Amino acid sequence: MKQPKKKAIVFIFFTVVLDISGLMVIFPIMPDILQSVGKFSVSDAAIWGGFLYASYALMQFLFSPVIGNISDAFGRRPVILISLFLMFIDYLILGFASLLWVFIIGRMIGGIAGGTVPTAMAYLADISTSEDKAKNFGLIGAAFGIGFVLGPFIGGILGEINFRLPFFFSAALSLCTFLFCFYFLNESLEEKNKRKFKLTDLNPFKPIYKSFFIKDLRIFFGCILVISIAHWVYPSIWSFWSKEVFGWGPGLIGVSLAFYGLGVAFVQGLIIRLSYIKNIHPQKIVVFSLLVGSFTLFGFGSIETGWLVFALIPIAVLTELMNPTLDSFISNRISDDTQGLLQGILSSINAITTILSPLIMTLLFKFGSSNDNSFYTPGLPFYFAATLLLVCLFPVINVMKSLEHTPKRKIK
């Protein structure tokens, strides 16, 4: 790999680290801030938390395909810069907000700005060879993991002091990331690979329509949808579940999320690279991840002692092998000039899951943890997520086998 490419990968890596740190820093304080503003119980606060997550995801769904097409037409760098600046504005609004509707507006702005990671993925696709994509996409996962470590850990510490401090910290991180990219990040998309921008590309439902009407790919995208719904059980209810079951505050919630993120960084930054060095078949990685994921989700749903969370996390993070494997698998079967559109499709699918999953999981949590319910099972969302992973096991393997030796195709 040429030296400029190495530098670009380093820049993208740290951009994602800073961006995800700013996003994750607020997770440990969500129960406290919602209970403070709305005077809710933990289960009711979870419902509002799900609504806030869903409003963020709704805007991401509406704007991600637009962002993907804009990045294909005009380049990755301007999209990354605009997204980061909007995130800065979002966190300032959240830091000063004292009404629920203001929080919702802030989260919607954050959703509009949520194009940094998919655009970073497209950036890496631009500068990577087919052989390097899985390893480089794994670095994005590692960057996410590091952000997942730093963000919740710092958010938990600051949240113990004042629950508004994490928002201002996130604003500062977003501004620093913006300045970092403005001065150091070069454009990755070559002129020959830019697509003509069309107003029809602004339709946010178009990529989803395409994804489920592309022969041989719709089942694959459908499996990604269901797997993502299951995977989003963690950010959807973790803070509320751990407070309800173990009585944890922002500090311990932040430490547990940071520990999980440390495992993610290790798995996607090292193990996924070793798996490709040793030529482990992608299908084996996916089967392993789905089975381990189901086991650990059932485990989280059943435990009643806090220390067992830290015993299960090192096993649970092994499921993080799956996402870069699936991303690389499908990216290598799509033409180079529609990589941005592919990432827009994947981001839109993820956005749909992050609309649906928080609403579903927090409703299940509300039902399972309600004081007037004889069926007290706060781990119910974990059981549901585990079942979804098992349902996807055979369909995703069958479709990977059928696509394994197909030529690259263009998304039209």
Please give the residue range of the domain that contains residue 212.
Answer: 3-184+204-403
Q: In the 3-class helix/strand/coil scheme, how is the chain assigned residue by residue?
A: CCHHHHHHHHHHHHHHHHHHHHHHCCHHHHHHHHHHHHCCCHHHHHHHHHHHHHHHHHHHHHHHHHHHHHHHHHCHHHHHHHHHHHHHHHHHHHHHCCCHHHHHHHHHHHHHCCCHHHHHHHHHHHHCCCCCHHHHHHHHHHHHHHHHHHHHHHHHHHHHHCCCHHHHHHHHHHHHHHHHHHHHCCCCCCHHHCCCCCHHHHCCCHHHHHHCCCCCCHHHHHHHHHHHHHHCHHHHHHHHHHHHHHCCCHHHHHHHHHHHHHHHHHHHHHHHHHHHHCCCCHHHHHHHHHHHHHHHHHHHHHCCCCHHHHHHHHHHHHHHHHHHHHHHHHHCCECHHHHHHHHHHHHHHHHHHHHHHHHHHHHHHHHHHCCCCCCCCCCHHHHHHHHHHHHHHHHHHHHHHHHCCCCCECCC
pLDDT at residue number 412: 62
Residue 190 pLDDT: 67
Q: How much is the pLDDT for 227?
A: 92
pLDDT at 235: 87
Looking at the structure of the chain, the number of domains it has is 1
Q: Is residue 192 part of a domain?
A: no
pLDDT on residue 381: 96
The CATH number that applies at residue 328 is 1.20.1250.20
Give the model's pLDDT for residue 3.
Answer: 44
pTM tops 0.95, yes or no = no
102 contacts: CB under 8 Å, gap ≥ 6 = 93
pLDDT value, residue 365: 94
Q: Could you tell me if residue 326 is inside a domain?
A: yes
Residue 189 resides in a domain: no
Q: Examine residue 193 and state whether it is found in any structural domain, yes or no.
A: no
Residue 120 lies in a domain: yes
* Residue 383 included in any domain: yes
The reply to whether 217 falls in a domain is yes
pLDDT on residue 197: 65
| pLDDT tens per residue across all 412 residues of the chain | 444 577 778 778 877 877 777 777 888 988 888 888 777 888 888 999 999 888 887 887 787 767 777 877 778 888 888 888 988 998 898 888 888 888 888 888 888 877 677 787 788 888 777 767 777 777 777 777 777 788 888 889 998 898 889 889 888 888 888 888 888 877 777 666 666 766 666 677 766 666 666 666 778 888 889 999 999 999 899 999 999 999 999 999 999 988 988 887 788 766 666 655 456 777 888 889 999 999 999 999 999 899 999 999 999 998 888 888 888 788 877 777 767 777 777 877 877 888 899 999 999 999 988 766 677 889 999 999 999 999 999 888 888 887 777 766 666 6
Q: Does a structural domain hold residue 194?
A: no
Q: What's the pLDDT at 62? A: 80
Output the six-digit token pair for 401. 């086998």
